[in-house]
Amino acid sequence: MEIEENEIRQQDDELIQLVTFSVGEEEFGVDILQVQEIIRTMEISNVPRAPEFVEGVINLRGKVIPIVDLRKKLGLEAREHDKHTRIIVIEINMMIVGFVVDSVSEVLRIPANTVEPPPPVVSGLESEYIDGVGKMEDRLLILLDLNQLLSNEEREALNIV
């Protein structure tokens, strides 16, 4: 019995470290271990015949990185970049990809036990990239798995880019 109680207590103490950001009216979080860096927007070169959600590519310290507009990917209306717009750079299956977000809020630590699985309403095939929902005192945080956000076909299309 003691061991089980210690395990439960340890789980209660476990913290998840997240980078939080906004896209539209929603606040999202991704595991900080997925994030390589966060950069300001820069000149993005268009790529002919790229998927609609791909804004283009950037040259980041000599590497050409495809840039995905997270607004378009999530089915939201596109908007002009402003001084708050950021690119979150992550690695997906040994490929570096940048995701454009409206703004990056903070690095946050939340207890693992405050994260619930996505509600059944959003747990369909299209939302397999939602890891869960973090309940905080004054808000809800949608936890994304950016590795799952792009289908295999979309990843292949980005490789061509």
Could you read off the pLDDT tens digit of each residue along the chain, which spans 161 residues? 444 554 444 455 699 999 999 999 899 999 999 899 999 999 999 998 888 899 999 999 999 999 999 999 888 888 899 999 999 999 887 889 999 999 999 999 999 999 988 877 654 545 678 888 998 888 889 999 887 888 888 888 777 55
Whole-structure pTM value: 0.84
Give percent of the chain above pLDDT 90.
52
Domain 14-160 has CATH 2.40.50.180: yes
- Show me where the domains of the chain are located: 14-160
- 3-class SS letters over the chain: CHHHHHHHHHHHHCEEEEEEEEECCEEEEEEHHHEEEEEECCCCECCCCCCCCEEEEEEECCEEEEEEEHHHHCCCCCCCCCCCCEEEEEEECCEEEEEEECEEEEEEEEEHHHEECCCHHHCCHHHCCEEEEEECCCCEEEEECHHHHCCHHHHHHHHHC
